[in-house]
Chains A and B, each alone.
Chain A
């Protein structure tokens, strides 16, 4: 096959985000002829990962074509740190020269939309049942930290960044071991952890407990939580809203998810990230596996327009799509996101917006990645929350920073990547992010310097926002998938949407349980 036009396709999938890539894999293994396109010359769409040079190209492209992607307002800065001859003698004498310099462009893998997976995520089960996980490397997400203004160790520079951070206890063992929390608070915390670990019916035989209030009211009224322990619990829920605006319903379910995930793949961690670029790596592996199943891939190829013929006779595919390459292709189904299909409407007002930043720092932040349980793997990522009030903005949503060590393969050794996000668009969000990153870097000490940073706004959906995570039926043959999630942790509803789209296309005669369950077809000498 030398041209795409020769084949009548069963499905054309536009865009190579994670949802589309999983769908392509599922369909290609269900015997469908899949043509998978991306208008960009790279995989991943909104979930792509870039080298430094690629990030620069991406910035130009986004800023030049507003509305063509879920991104806007990209800015990028590179920082020079000339060796100060007066200063170097005091700080670096006797120690190996730490080079506060950027390495080569492709030493970095920067994720536009970084997320980790909880170990009990549906996506993990899907990666396992489809055998896709074999081509991926996963690293542990370790500790959660919360930024605190009143920190007893603030002057102890040996602690690095953790002198302004408190480790959030994520398990009962953690609570026992914690030296900062007062005894009375520990008891409250234990009571809460015990409460939410219990199955709902056992605790409350009368029925579901009332979770309609805010998380703040819930913690205060039900458990008399001291205010200083409420933000740490909020961080375990990864809520992108302030405490008072986060519903108890949302937060309790997600704190539960956090607690029950710990230990599923080994002691001491409940989340994992895919090495070399988070979701970008997963989706590319899915695309490869889809190609193995017969899917055909073409990058730099978008859909310019399409027509539908409801009365197509017999075998004739009802959809004709004109590609940016000039070719016209025919298909039974077409699937894509808002930004991949032509005739797009403007993004719904219900979509959320987050400001993100990516910062490359010349420090490995060793104190952020402790091994807290014997036998646990060394974490490669940590989650930091800066409550709005600690940044001088009590009404603002919290700022989250995910720090990736070089073990993620995202950056060279002796450096780290800080992925920041806050669900507040515009200058206000940017200034909060800057402030959080700045405080972290300064607390780490003089060897930590910002080498490179990028900021941008992304449109998508938040798990505690209002946007619908549904599959949109634009016509019987054209399906639209929702935009990428903006949460720190992968939300399972993406897998649900993929499964729904798959079922729609393969038809009801294929059982639900066959979704993404493949035999090993690869020779292995294990």
Chain B
């Protein structure tokens, strides 16, 4: 699916604002990097850099352009901007399958989204770092596996560590059983996936599932506030009446800015 938007026939295209949430070092940015660039960096710095990425996702009947908002590290001191999730149509709440506390944190984020975000928001719960477990292939089969191994002391920072191959396979580092997270996701009505940003397992699937789960109605009205679904003779106009500041930038580059 990660083919660029080269579809010949113009399909209806809609923008979807997607926010990323989760504890530090669970691999939020790595997931996005895999999805957008099909790339992985072993020892990625904590996110300071790209915080706004776009990627198109082509469905049979339409094209979804994800506007992906990374937290830019602003979650550290409880300072994530309200506008970060306001008007988001989708959220990716990420935890680390080798770190139980990160699932606890993920549940907090889900609760906060349910409280603060648009009522119709599509939330996907994603257990990342599947490559550190024994069942790095198919997530659904591994539900009952409780592992006996101690995780490596720094497993929680694995994505940020050197992480040579031999280091990560003394055994299965999984600490969060698939079944536990899946049950929770079902109770809360979330999409659920286990992924590996490192190997790419399931990454594209997450975004495709989200794209499919976005209700058609919420696409038509653009980034509706969710509450104002009342019909009006002029509905669907909001996207059209946006002013594009990029226009003047290009158009008047030669004559120089007014200031």
Contacts and interface: CB of A to CB of B under 8 A. Distances in A.
- Chains A and B form a bound pair: yes
B247 to A, nearest CB: 6
A138 B226 CA distance: 19
Interface of A is mostly: loop
B72 interface: yes
A412 interface: yes
16 contacts: A103-B227, A106-B116, A107-B226, A122-B259, A133-B245, A134-B52, A134-B246, A272-B243, A284-B81, A287-B74, A291-B72, A292-B52, A300-B78, A380-B241, A525-B56, A526-B54
B55 A377 contact: no
A373 B40 CA distance: 50
A154 B252 CA distance: 44
Contact of A107 (B225, B232, B242): B225
Nearest to A526: B54
B32 to A, nearest CB: 10
Contacts of B51: 288-289, 291-292, 522
Contact of A288 (B74, B223, B231, B258): B74
Q: Which 10 A-B pairs have the closest CB atoms?
A: A412-B228, A107-B227, A120-B258, A298-B77, A297-B79, A291-B72, A413-B228, A378-B241, A377-B241, A138-B243
Given A297-B74, A413-B229, A288 B81 contact: yes
Given A128-B246, A135-B52, 19 more contacts: A106-B86, A106-B227, A139-B241, A140-B243, A266-B243, A272-B243, A276-B83, A276-B87, A280-B83, A291-B48, A291-B73, A292-B51, A379-B241, A409-B223, A413-B230, A523-B50, A523-B53, A524-B54, A525-B5
A120 B82 CA distance: 29
A128 B49 contact: no
Contacts of A379: 241
B244 interface: yes
Nearest to A257: B258
Contact of A406 (B49, B50, B55, B228): B228
Contacts of B5: 525
Contacts of B79: 297-299
B232 A293 contact: no
B242 A377 contact: yes
Chain B interface category by residue count: 35 or more
Contacts of B244: 138, 265-266
Given A135-B52, A523-B53, A414 B246 contact: no
B237 interface: yes
Contact of B240 (A104, A299, A378): A378
Contacts of A70: none
Nearest to A107: B227
B235 A127 contact: no
Interface string B52-65: 11111000000000
A281 interface: yes
A124 B223 contact: no
B225 A125 contact: no
A99 interface: yes
Contacts of B248: 119, 128, 264-265
B44 to A, nearest CB: 15
Contacts of A104: 119, 227
Interface of A: 4, 42-43, 96, 99, 103-104, 106-107, 109, 119-122, 124-125, 127-128, 133-140, 260, 264-266, 269, 272, 275-277, 280-281, 284-285, 287-289, 291-294, 296-301, 364, 366, 377-380, 406-407, 409, 411-415, 492, 521-526
Contacts of A291: 48, 51, 72-74
B10 interface: no
B242 A414 contact: no
Interface in B153-181: none
Interface in B22-59: 36-37, 48-56
B82 to A, nearest CB: 7
Nearest to B87: A276
A377 B227 contact: no
A415 B228 contact: yes
B109 interface: no
B238 interface: yes
Contact of A409 (B119, B225, B229, B240): B225
A99 B228 CA distance: 11
Contacts of B4: 525
Interface in B71-119: 72-74, 76-79, 81-84, 86-87, 116, 119
B72 A292 contact: yes
B257 interface: yes
Contacts of B56: 525
A139 B222 CA distance: 14
Contacts of B183: none
A411 B247 CA distance: 27
A60 B141 CA distance: 54
B134 interface: no
B50 A293 contact: no
Given A522-B53, A523-B53, A414 B241 contact: no
A260 B258 CA distance: 10
Q: Could you say which of B76, B79, B258, B259 has the most chain A C-beta atoms within 10 Å of its C-beta?
A: B79
Given A287-B81, A291-B72, A377-B240, A128 B245 contact: yes
Given A43-B82, A292-B50, A294-B48, A409 B74 contact: no
A523 B230 contact: no
Interface centre among B56, B81, B116, B258 (most CB of A within 10 A): B81
Nearest to A377: B241
Contacts of A106: 86, 116, 227
A293 B119 CA distance: 32
Contacts of B238: 407, 409
A285 B83 contact: yes
A296 B77 contact: yes
Contacts of B81: 43, 284, 287-288
A99 B50 contact: no
Contacts of B235: 413
B140 interface: no
A124 B245 contact: yes
Contacts of B212: none
A297 B73 CA distance: 9
Contacts of B231: 96, 413
Given A265-B243, A291-B73, A377-B243, A128 B249 contact: yes
B14 to A, nearest CB: 14
